[in-house]
């Protein structure tokens, strides 16, 4: 167990304050957690199982939505029971409940490797086999390091990326309405870029727990909804806002969808950040408005997504800005943010080819085109063109896949 209960407890507290649903079952869950923790401390698996079985009985009566919401507790309960059995040197039961935890969705490979509670089963063949299979799915740094190879010789003819002119009337209005010149300030290009990043982060709060309901995917609609409805938005809407602000100031910017490998097809989590092209240093720069984050090398030079990805793969030092944070409620820790969360989500990336105001607003008859960059390690066919239709909005979605980062990261 070690720190696992505290860590999951913090995450659950964070989400429960966001959702605030089924308070009665949440109280029951907290009581169950207390009883199971007591049984763990006393190394009493019989009492632990008694509480777990009672919990599972009530859990089975929940709606599918509530089951999904409280699933983290089930995962943790199985894991900690495995720890209890391991501490008693009951290797067979320990491995059984570790397997149940993994099957339920446990995803912290690093913690399993470090948790001293599991030392009694660490050399067991069944444990090694179980954990190695788990590593191929959930050791995100291991997965990313195997995905470093691309094909620079691939010369597939794909659509070129475009960037809307700052003279577009909608972008001019955005710039004036929100006084972006004043926000950017009078410093150099880098300071202006970062000032706008900080402003978007401070103005628009993040809430990844539910849909915002905003239909028009542009900065004005998002900023207006945040102000009038007092809502938070998802990371993609934050990235849209920052992208439009940069475009309105004359900088080429893109919204980058960062995806995991997800070989099992069960990881619905991804992250969306931005890159902005700085002519003064002739490179794309990583900017993450959700976490007010940017990344530097050991010389404190700003880096782009490709550079950060390569540095993680090749064990090169990275620096995260010290004021990176989530909603000014928690500090973003480099080790988790870069080497776990973003290591997972930097496996492959996708970007709209047209970077402009309202480019992703879905309307009948409209076609939105994306390019996806995938590593050679990916197990699916890569060079192809996917076409789908959003039946609700009758919008056509076209996605081109490429192995060549030079195509994906072409300069404006």
Closest CA to 103 of 67, 59, 142, 133: 133
Architecture of domain 4-138: Alpha Horseshoe (1.25)
Contact 110, 340 (CB under 8 A): yes
DSSP secondary structure string for all residues of 142-162: HHHHTT----TT-----PPPE
Other beta carbons less than 10 A from residue 35's beta carbon: 17
What pLDDT is recorded for position 71?
87
Average of per-residue pLDDT across 99-104 = 91
Dist CA 139 CA 109 (whole Å): 5
Arithmetic mean of pLDDT over the chain: 90
pLDDT per position as a tens digit, 252-279: 999 999 999 986 676 778 999 999 999 9
pLDDT per position as a tens digit, 279-288: 999 999 999 9
Residue 5 has pLDDT above 60, yes or no: no
Dist CA 334 CA 83 (whole Å): 28
pLDDT per position as a tens digit, 152-189: 998 878 999 999 999 999 999 999 999 999 999 999 99
What pLDDT is recorded for position 383?
66
What pLDDT is recorded for position 264?
61
Residue 306 has pLDDT above 90, yes or no: yes
Which CATH number among 3.10.620, 2.130.10, 3.40.720, 3.30.1490 corresponds to the domain 157-351? 3.10.620
What pLDDT is recorded for position 210?
78
pLDDT per position as a tens digit, 107-119: 788 889 889 999 9
Residues of the chain with CATH 1.25.40: 4-138
Closest CA to 354 of 323, 398, 318: 398
Dist CA 318 CA 300 (whole Å): 9
**Beta strand 330-331 pairing with 354-355:** unpaired
């Amino acid at each position: 167990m070690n720190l696992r209960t505290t860590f999951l407890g913090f995450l659950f507290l964070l989400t429960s304050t966001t959702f605030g649903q089924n308070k009665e079952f949440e109280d029951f869950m907290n009581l169950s957690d207390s009883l199971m923790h007591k049984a763990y401390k006393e190394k009493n698996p019989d009492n632990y199982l008694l509480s777990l079985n009672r919990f599972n009985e009530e859990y089975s009566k929940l709606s599918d939505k509530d089951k999904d919401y409280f699933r983290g507790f089930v995962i943790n309960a199985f894991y900690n029971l495995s720890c209890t059995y391991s501490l008693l040197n009951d290797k067979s039961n320990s491995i059984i409940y570790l397997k149940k935890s993994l099957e339920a969705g446990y995803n912290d490979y690093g913690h399993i490797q470090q948790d001293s509670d599991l030392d009694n089963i660490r050399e067991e063949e069944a444990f090694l086999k179980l954990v190695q299979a788990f590593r191929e799915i959930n050791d995100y740094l291991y997965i990313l390091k195997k995905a470093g190879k691309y094909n620079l010789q691939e010369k597939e003819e794909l659509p070129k990326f475009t960037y809307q002119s700052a003279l577009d009337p909608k972008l001019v209005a955005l710039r004036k309405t929100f006084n972006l010149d004043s926000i950017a300030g009078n410093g150099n290009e880098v300071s202006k870029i970062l000032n706008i990043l900080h402003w978007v982060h401070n103005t628009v709060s993040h809430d990844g727990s539910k849909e915002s309901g905003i239909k028009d995917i542009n900065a004005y609609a998002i900023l207006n909804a945040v102000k009038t409805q007092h809502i938070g938005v998802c990371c993609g809407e934050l990235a849209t806002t920052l992208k439009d602000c940069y475009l309105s100031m004359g900088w080429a910017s893109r919204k980058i969808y960062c995806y995991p490998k997800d070989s099992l097809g069960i990881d619905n989590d991804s992250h969306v950040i931005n890159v902005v092209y700085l002519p003064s240093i002739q490179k794309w720069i990583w900017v993450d408005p959700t976490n007010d984050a940017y990344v530097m090398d050991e010389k404190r030079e700003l880096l782009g997504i490709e550079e950060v990805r390569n540095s993680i793969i090749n064990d090169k030092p990275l620096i995260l800005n010290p004021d990176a944070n989530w909603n000014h409620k928690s500090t973003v820790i480099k080790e988790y943010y870069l080497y776990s969360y973003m290591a997972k989500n930097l496996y492959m990336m996708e970007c709209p080819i047209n970077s402009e105001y309202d480019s992703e607003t879905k309307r009948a008859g409209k076609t939105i085109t994306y390019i996806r960059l995938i590593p050679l390690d990916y197990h699916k066919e890569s060079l192809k063109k996917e076409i789908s239709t959003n039946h609700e909005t009758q919008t056509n979605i076209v996605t081109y896949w490429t192995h060549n980062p030079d195509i994906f990261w072409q300069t404006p």
